[in-house]
Structure 1
């Protein structure tokens, strides 16, 4: 099945392993999760559940459970959104150009369901120098004790 996204002025067509109709997504996601994951909305800074979250574990896609980021790769970017230096595995995320808001940015999405996660910027700390700035609404946290 194909997923078609309007990203700024560019149209991107990609094939994702998990696809659902808008009605199916609305049935399993909270309104803010739907707005972020399926409509590329952004939650206000300093409001999400994970921007100041410090427990050990992993962050998975709130839409499909795809493992995305490790807590040890999270850092305080001062932006008000959870920020990470790298994904769990490069193939777990995808990127595409985003021309919205009169800017050129790199959008990050879930490689399994295509859900919008946030953006990545080349101004993060070492060792990668990248800042994956992700919406809390796009994530679900699984603590280390919950993983066993």
Structure 2
């Protein structure tokens, strides 16, 4: 079954002020004071606006940055990279492809053994779906990522 992921007006209306500022206005939430920076539960991280699958806990690591960090997206086609020249820096912004949510930034200081990339993502842009709920939430195809 192919899911039609898109910016959902209903989901937008339910965002907290922080979630809205991050996803729609490219804000950044505070380091170490966000929902998932220290989450160690197995599961899938999806766009809070569109529901499109973005990252899996199997690719999450502690970057000591204070934000959830991942080495690779679970579905590369759901990630869009854009040049970000704000604040006098040149960075790579990461957005969701279907929801057009600002997610965070991509850096090249990730674990070398995993490809060297760090997807530094705002918790406020994410909804976490625990492994035990993947089937019920419509993400059952992703359970194989967690098989050992």
- Give the TM-score category using the shorter length: 0.7 to 0.9
1:95 aligns with: 81
CA distance in 1, matches of 2:64, 2:8: 35
* Gaps in structure 1 of 5+ consecutive residues: 1-16
Alignment partner, residue 18 of structure 1: 6
Superposition pairs of residues 53-92 of structure 1, within 5 angstroms: 53-92=39-78
Q: CA distance change for structure 1 residues 19 and 142 in 2, over 3 Å: closer, same or farther?
A: closer
Q: Which residue of 2 aligns with 1:108?
A: 94
What is the match of residue 46 of structure 1? Answer: 32
1:145 aligns with 2:132: yes
Residue 15 of structure 2: aligned partner: 29
TM-score by length of 1: 0.83
CA RMSD of aligned residues (A): 1.5
Q: If each structure's strand is expressed as a fraction of its own residues, which one has the higher value?
A: 1
Instruction: Tell me the distance in 2 between the aligned counterparts of 1:72 and 1:44.
Output: 24
**Which portions of structure 1, spanning 4 or more consecutive aligned residues, are displaced by more than 2 angstroms?**
17-21
CA distance in 1, matches of 2:8, 2:57: 29
Q: How far is the alpha carbon of 1:28 from its aligned partner?
A: 2.5
Q: How many corresponding residue pairs?
A: 130
